[in-house]
Structure 1
Amino acid sequence: MNRILFALIVFFSAACSGTNESSEKTANADATQAANAKTYACPMQCEGDKTYTQAGKCPVCKMDLEEIALLDTDSTAHDHQ
């Protein structure tokens, strides 16, 4: 009986630890992808603070969208230097 109980504890411990490692790897990959993501906006701010994930043309004034750097991931403020 003790062997079965011990085997179950070991099994569940191993199963739970594998899930945590997978979750940590996924979280690290998401953070890296977010850090590498580029954001674009119209230099004339035709659409206010609206941003895009790909370069292209502003749908309003047709100017090329410019890459911007976000100051804070929780903020909509942009660095337009």
Structure 2
Amino acid sequence: MSDCRHLQLVLVRQQKNRLRCRHCHLTIPADELTSRYCPECFESSGKRRYDFDEVADATDGVTRYRCEDCGVMIEAK
């Protein structure tokens, strides 16, 4: 057990809607996908691949905090 009193808490933000490439598995926020093709596939192979799956967010109603001093994750409803 840690002696930390968890006085330096930082809110861990939930991630926005994300897309995962079906080929290279790059996960990127939908608003950062400026082109419709996967930038990682294009950079590595020169191919423009447009196949993405949506990654669902965990909307469980839990707020998460991280202690800056010891790194522990704290969940609160």
TM-score tier by shorter-chain length is 0.3 to 0.5
Normalising by structure 2, we get a TM-score of 0.32
Which protein, 1 or 2, shows the higher relative CO under an 8 Å CA cutoff with sep ≥ 6? 2
Q: Could you say which structure has the larger radius of gyration?
A: 1
When you count helix as a share of all residues, which structure comes out higher? Answer: 1
